Amino acid sequence: MIASLLSPALLLAGLSATPSTPDPALPFTTWKLKNGLQVILHEDHRVPMVAVDVWVHVGSGDEVPGKSGFAHLFEHMMFQGSEHVKEDQHFAVLREVGASMINGTTNFDRTNYFEVVPANQLEAALWLESDRLGFLLSHVNQESLKNQRDVVRNERRQRVDNVPYGSSRMAQFAALYPEGHPFRYQVIGKHEDIEGAVLDDVKAFFRTWYAPANVTLALAGDVDEATARALVDKWFGALLSPPRPVKRPFPVVALQKNERLEIKDRFAKLARLQWTWHGAAQYSPDDPDLGVVGDALGADGWGRLYRRLVVDEQLAQAVYAGPSGMNATGQFSIAVTLKPGSDPARVEQIVRDEVVRLLAEGPSADEVRRSIVDTETNILFSLDDLLGRAERLQEMNHYTGDAGGLPAYLARVRACTPPSAQAAARRWLAKPRVLVVTVPESAPATAPTSAPKGGAQ
């Protein structure tokens, strides 16, 4: 083990001068159209570009049993064309007007669609977005749906079935959420459910969830408010909307006892242990404290488990710890990827010891401060690009109900203390958890190794 050359006292003395990070300015205005569509505008005139970011307040958590993966498959269909935008022309138009960052993503609780366009092409983007929001169903067709079912199943292969640890993650979710729970098959869903999706599903899902009243449009960049209001009115104002759909709350589930699963993996050659607890919802009061707990345990370089498992005992290749909120619920995970030949029982013991120690003593003041600095810094850098700002406003709006919630959130992060983090850890990590052990299906084909020739002593 390496002795520290600096005494803790000296380190602390050096720290007291560390200036705090000022809150980033993220001014915005927000308004609603008559049909209920919410608009958020952030002006930044430094570069002639505008990020167009549409959030639909629906995700895979709103699926019903037998339709897993549908919210995401539907997201794919939104790119296939609409009444006035021909099949496969959405991307082509955006490409021709000079858009960058064109994509859409589906989460457990929301779906987003975005592009960053030259400011003088903003209207083309609003035309495209409003057409698929208002006129999708007159275009959707069987051929296109059949194709996207194939595409999404390929996506599942690429993210789950053909990669290391993909099957373990599926098993982890299945252990946490019982049959019938909308998180059970993750966002991507089961092959048979994806294959079973029909046009009527597309139509029903669209009519229920893709109501303008269930949509928030964020614009960030080089457009003034008067222009933004006029253009949004022009393209979205005439769309009719049923009332905003009522989201049913995600079922809250709990584990009765600890579970341990062993998953054989064809593609992983390094064993992995992953513990997962049910966790706090994103932006809920315990969320920042659980972030601190995750860093204290698993931060790259300085987390306790990183130091013990990667640096001191050299049992692990990599360590992760932290919460992942999913609106009304969440998870907290600790994952350790082992080096070849490491003893999983030894790793398990160390993780258990460190979690117990953290529950008993809480994190140190240094650890709490480092975690806060890390969060502040991450947020600042995430605002470098226009889309990052639009996404931050959307996230605050969706999860806290206030697009301007960033300062309050940062204040909450900065209010974390060793006792508050310890209390949150005790509320969540003393409960039963799932341990998924990924076992490489065959022994790694290591080349014959000798002692390092001329290696360091």
Partner 1 sequence: MIAPVAAVLSLALQAHAGEVGAPTVRGPAVDRTRQPAAGPERDLALPPIRQFTVRGIKGYLVERPGLPIVQLELSWNLGGATDPAGKEGLASLCVDWLGEGTKRLDKTAFENKKADLGARIGIGAGAETTGLSLAVVTSRLEPALGLVAELLIEPGLRPADLERLRGQAKASVVQARGNADGAGARAWSAAFWGRAHPYGHVVEEKSLDAISAADCASVVKRLAPEGAELVVVGDVTVEQLTPLLEKSLASWKGKAPARAKVGPPRGLKGTVFFVDIPGAEQSKVIVGHGGPARAAPDYAATMVMSQVFGQGLSSRLVQNLRERNGYTYGANGGFAYRRSGSAFMVQSSIRTDATGKALAEIKHELTGMSTTPPTSDELRRERDGGLRALPARFATNAALARSVGELLSFGLPLDTWQRFPAELRAVDDKAAAAAVKAHLQPTQKVVVAGDRAKVLPELEALAKDGSFGREGLVLLDADGRAIK
Q: Cβ of residue 282: shortest distance to partner 1, in angstroms?
A: 20
Q: State the pairing for strand pair 259-265/49-56.
A: unpaired
Interface map 75-104 toward partner 1 (x if CB under 8 A): ----x---xx---x--xxx-xxxxxxx---
Read off the DSSP letter of residue 26.
-
Q: Which of 340, 407, 419, 432 binds partner 1 (CB under 8 A)?
A: 340
Phi/psi for 437 (5° steps) reads -105, 115
Q: Which of 40, 310, 326, 425 binds partner 1 (CB under 8 A)?
A: 310
Q: Cβ of residue 38: shortest distance to partner 1, in angstroms?
A: 17
In sequence order, the β-bridge partners of residue 114 are 53, 103
Q: Does 259 bind partner 1 (CB under 8 A)?
A: no
Read off the DSSP letter of residue 82.
B
Binding to partner 1, residues 191-250 (CB under 8 A): 203-205, 207-208, 211, 234-235, 237-240, 242-243, 245-246, 248-249
Q: Cβ of residue 59: shortest distance to partner 1, in angstroms?
A: 13
Q: Cβ of residue 393: shortest distance to partner 1, in angstroms?
A: 15
Q: Cβ of residue 457: shortest distance to partner 1, in angstroms?
A: 6
Question: Whose structure tokens read 């046009």?
Answer: 199
Read off the DSSP letter of residue 157.
I
Q: Which of 38, 121, 274, 420 binds partner 1 (CB under 8 A)?
A: 121
Q: Which of 53, 62, 287, 395 binds partner 1 (CB under 8 A)?
A: 62
CA quadruple 255, 258, 262, 268: dihedral positive or negative?
positive
Binding to partner 1, residues 398-437 (CB under 8 A): none
Q: Which helix (H) or strand (E) holds 323?
A: strand 316-326
Q: Cβ of residue 270: shortest distance to partner 1, in angstroms?
A: 5
Three-state secondary structure call for residue 105: strand
66 to 31, 139, 189, 190, 438: CA distances (angstroms): 38, 25, 9, 9, 28
Binding to partner 1, residues 363-402 (CB under 8 A): 366, 369-370, 373-374, 376-377, 380-381, 383-386
Q: Which of 31, 86, 105, 180 binds partner 1 (CB under 8 A)?
A: 180
Q: Which helix (H) or strand (E) holds 426?
A: helix 418-429
Q: Cβ of residue 227: shortest distance to partner 1, in angstroms?
A: 10
Binding to partner 1, residues 276-305 (CB under 8 A): 299, 301-302
Q: Which of 262, 314, 353, 439 binds partner 1 (CB under 8 A)?
A: 314
Separation of first and last alpha carbons in the chain: 14
Binding to partner 1, residues 19-48 (CB under 8 A): 19, 21-22, 24, 44, 46-48
Count residues near partner 1 (CB under 8 A): 132
List Cβ neighbours of 225 (8 Å cut-off, separation of 6 or more).
29, 41, 43
348, two tokens = 């398990």
Rounded distance, CA 296 to CA 290, Å?
A: 10
